[in-house]
Copies of this chain bind each other. A is one copy, B any other.
């Protein structure tokens, strides 16, 4: 494997000095890019795109051809894991993902097993290998998975929901069943992320999209406890290189101290969190990633420059900050605004290093 030319992301995640603040964006390869839509049309569907390593590699690299990003993130979806567990997966335009066989029967839950990534998720691992080769050490590659709880939400609900009533009815009424699902998910996520690391992922991130819909006690018991077990099971070093891990709970601003104490290297912040207050609360224990409101990218250049300046000022001096949005890039984002964002982060962040 080629030696990393731009290791700013890795260094920032490990709280080592960097000349500027590295930046990448959640969902940086996506529908706001015309070339992505072209490749996706060629693939036939979102899922076909995920499953084709050549095309998935192509879209992973597209934002890097346009913008001076400090990392690539493998193009995939968190629901590839439930699909590999046999729950079936489809995407309907405008409605989001659907699992064809959601977990409702106790028998199905007892029979659930973690998939073998090398067999069932080989296409993701192949994509990672191809992307690493194509990157030739330019920037690091990030692998990812959904959190055990977030995956369980989809696995029980069967799709998007606004009230999480099926999974929460299980949580409050039959907690042992949900714990059984989470236990399997925990093993599955750990094995999947380790397989990604072995295939070439240089950073791993866990997306806990729905942990923030829980109460504090439920979050600790049903989401954080399992993410912590994932972190404990991750390979920390591969081929002599430290593999940093990032945990991100959307809506988890109240629990940053607990997330930071999980053993991860970095904590992602959504845009509702004040960066300076977050740094005060968790000190130097971990790096922080975030947290511009993605909607700022829909406004003009002035809003982007002042938004970037405010986020950088909020995180302040001392490093350990990876610039990102507080959530994924909106499909309605003009690509030139992303270029402006990335360049502005690089320009304005130097004074903080």
Contact = CB atoms under 8 A, between A and B. Distances in A.
A214 B218 CA distance: 24
Interface stretch (A56-64, A164-172, A180-188, A232-240): A164-172
A172 B254 contact: no
B272 A165 contact: no
A299 interface: yes
Interface string A313-347: 00000000000001000101000000000000000
Interface string A285-301: 00000000111101110
A295 to B, nearest CB: 4
Nearest to A271: B215
Interface in A207-226: 212-219
B254 A216 contact: no
Interface residues of A, number: 37
Main secondary structure of the interface of A (DSSP, over half): helix
A274 interface: yes
A37 to B, nearest CB: 18
B332 A295 contact: no
A307 B254 contact: no
Nearest to A252: B272
A298 B215 CA distance: 16
A177 to B, nearest CB: 12
Nearest to A292: B215
Interface string A243-286: 00000000101100000000000000001111001000000000
A164 to B, nearest CB: 7
Contacts of A299: 168-169, 172-173
A310 interface: yes
B168 A298 contact: yes
A298 B168 CA distance: 8
Contacts of A295: 163-165, 168-169, 171-172
A219 to B, nearest CB: 8
A172 B306 CA distance: 10
- Among A173, A273, A332, chain B packs the most CB atoms within 10 A around the CB of A173
28 contacts: A163-B294, A163-B295, A164-B295, A165-B295, A165-B298, A168-B293, A169-B295, A169-B298, A169-B299, A171-B295, A172-B295, A172-B296, A172-B299, A173-B299, A173-B300, A212-B272, A213-B272, A214-B272, A215-B272, A215-B326, A216-B272, A216-B273, A216-B277, A217-B310, A218-B293, A219-B272, A253-B254, A254-B273
Contacts of A168: 293, 295, 298-299
A310 B163 CA distance: 21
Contact of A216 (B214, B274, B296, B298): B274
Contacts of A303: 172-173
A264 to B, nearest CB: 21
A130 to B, nearest CB: 32
A277 B330 CA distance: 35
A289 to B, nearest CB: 16
Interface string A29-44: 0000000000000000
Contacts of A273: 216, 254
A165 B32 CA distance: 14
Contacts of A274: 215-216, 254
A214 B271 CA distance: 7
